[in-house]
Amino acid sequence: MKHYAFVDLFFFRSDLASPWGFSLSEMKVPRFHIVLKGDCYIGVGENHSICLKHMGIIMISHGDLHWIADQVVHNMSKAKIIFY
């Protein structure tokens, strides 16, 4: 594993109720997701997904386009990041 230095950080917390799912566009930086409560599926592409459980953490090391959902079968909405 390479060493990563965190220069710019962006945090957000979501409270979601089933059914839900969204995709996150590609960014050329590593992205992390932490499940604080419940579980979800995270995938890159259509055929590669894992179930992330309570207090699980995952890193999308190259910032690839990926999706997060309560189930694998939901259609994904494209997430929009809005800064205030």
Quote the radius of gyration of the chain (alpha carbons, Å). 13
pLDDT 10s digits, 30-82: 888 999 999 999 998 777 889 999 999 998 888 888 999 998 865 666 666 55
The helix (run of H) or strand (run of E) holding residue 49 is strand 48-52
Domain extent listing, the chain: 21-75
The token pair that represents 12 in the structure block: 């957000």
* pTM for the whole structure: 0.73
**Buried-exposed string 28-57: b where 16+ CB fall within 10 A, e elsewhere:** eeebeeebeeeebbbbeeeeebeebeeeee
Angstrom distance (rounded) from CA 45 to CA 83: 27
